[in-house]
Amino acid sequence: MDSYHTGDVAVTTSPNEGGEDEACLYALLLCNSQVFPSVLNAAIELNLFEIIAKETLPMSASEIAFKLPNQHPDLPNRLHRMLRLLASYSLLTCSSRTNQHGTIETTYGLSPVGKYFVSDQTRGCVGSFTTFIHHPTNLFTLWWWWCDFRPNFKDVIIDAEDDLFKKVHGMSLYQCTGRDPKLNYIFNKSMADICTLEMNRILQVYKGFEGVSTLVDVGGCTGQNLHMIISKHSTIKGINFDLPQVVEKAPAYPGIQHVGGDMYSYVPEGDAIILKAVLHNWTDEQCLSILRNCHNALPQNGKVIVIEFIVPEASESNVSKLVSTLDNLMYMTSGGKERTEKEYEALCNLSGFSRFQLVCRAFSALGIIEFHK
């Protein structure tokens, strides 16, 4: 059973198996759960993870405070309280030392989890996605709680014709990013950072790009996925396929041709097609339309490589928590959904493919699936 954290207390059993005290403690944690995301986002905006990462030894709150632009007497104390909460969620390590004044002080270092919140163009990171989630136009900031968010959330459960983001803003998330340059930048950066993180791991565990001649990335945005793949498999010819207004801003990459178009109308031909984080945006009917166009674009024995989070069987694992959270995020922001392995197999069969294979997983949650023609 996974461990979970309740403030300063780390619990190593299920909250339903630890007795009445543990059950109550976990319930109290959940009812205060809006606090931690706000503290985490503040830590990212203050560059606390970057400040700690640059030092070889753990730092005290006073040392970290000294690195911030605004100084005041209570700043070290406030930082200490933030850092203590981050440490309770395993984002920082926590230890003690005697300082030059002979006083015991707490010091904080970067944990293996915390390193993923440090900006790294090579490895990727998750910090920018946290910033996107907390942007004022998004649904998950405390700001929306004061703007009657909860009744809207109820409405999206009841009303199958609309999604919550559209109800609140009068337009889809993608329309909103197109009209707000700052949000568009934050959104694109968060997607690029997550993409880098995921693709690095995918390229370690998945060997199915070997032997591919022409690889088409449908919904490939500016071509970052393909660029990372071709950097490792240089014989592949890449076609990055997305909307014309998206690919016209894409940088030039060696071995990659940018093609503008609509995946609901056609898909460029190749012996393999990649759909990464595409199908979860759409309904089953829309997915079938996309997949049938992919099927038409492939030669006999060609394949579609689907990369999506896979909903596991109900459990209390971190994989289940993550994918269930993303699933709720999808229907609130786009009307899409995360799917089980069986649901992806059904899409495979209904769109005319002959064989389905869940080849491997990245981070235990991200499935790399092949649909064979």
Pair 341, 312: CB distance under 8 Å: no
Please list the residue range(s) of the chain that carry CATH number 3.40.50.150. 206-373
Residue for token digits 């056609």?
A: 266
The H-assigned helical ranges of the chain are 19-31, 35-45, 48-53, 61-66, 75-88, 127-133, 142-145, 149-158, 164-169, 173-179, 181-205, 224-232, 244-247, 284-297, 318-333, 341-350
Rg of the chain taking only CA atoms, in angstroms: 23
* Mean pLDDT computed over 118-136: 72
Pair 250, 283: CB distance under 8 Å: no
Question: Taking the model in full, what pTM does it have?
Answer: 0.72
206-373 has which fold?
Rossmann fold (3.40.50)
Say whether pLDDT at 342 is over 60.
yes
> Among the listed ranges 78-82, 145-149, 254-258, 308-312, which one has the minimum average pLDDT value?
145-149
DSSP letters of 193-224? HHHHHHHHHHHHH--TTTT-SEEEEET-TTSH
pLDDT in tens, 269-310: 999 999 999 999 898 999 999 999 999 999 999 999 999 999
The set of catalytic residues is: 280
| CA dihedral (179, 181, 186, 188) positive or negative | positive
Please list the residue range(s) of the chain that carry CATH number 1.10.10.10. 34-115
34-115 has which fold?
Arc Repressor Mutant, subunit A (1.10.10)
Distance, CA of 326 to CA of 336 (rounded, Å): 10
> Among the listed ranges 12-16, 100-104, 312-316, which one has the minimum average pLDDT value?
12-16
* Mean pLDDT computed over 237-260: 92
Distance, CA of 187 to CA of 77 (rounded, Å): 33
Task: Calculate the alpha carbon distances from 32 to 25, 27, 29, 320 in Å.
Answer: 11, 9, 5, 21
pLDDT in tens, 79-92: 887 888 888 888 89
CA 147 to chain centre: 26
For the record, the structure tokens of 355 come out as 């064989």
Q: Give the pLDDT score at 14.
A: 65
Give the pLDDT band (50/70/90) at residue 10. Answer: very low
Mean pLDDT of the chain: 82
Closest by CA position to 150, among listed 139, 160, 159: 139
Say whether pLDDT at 21 is over 70.
no
Pair 4, 11: CB distance under 8 Å: yes
| CA dihedral (204, 207, 212, 214) positive or negative | negative
Give the single-character DSSP code of 250.
P
Q: Give the pLDDT score at 32.
A: 63
| CA dihedral (62, 64, 70, 75) positive or negative | negative
Question: Residues 169-178: contacts with CB within 8 Å, 24+ apart?
Answer: 169/137, 172/334, 173/333, 173/334, 174/334, 176/137
Task: Calculate the alpha carbon distances from 342 to 277, 347, 349, 353, 357 in Å.
Answer: 17, 9, 11, 15, 11
* Mean pLDDT computed over 215-243: 94
Give the pLDDT band (50/70/90) at residue 184. Answer: confident
* CA atoms within 13 A of residue 118's CA, in its CB half-sphere: 19
Say whether pLDDT at 149 is over 60.
no
pLDDT in tens, 27-75: 767 766 766 787 888 888 888 999 999 988 999 989 999 998 888 888 8
Distance, CA of 325 to CA of 171 (rounded, Å): 23
Give the single-character DSSP code of 91.
S
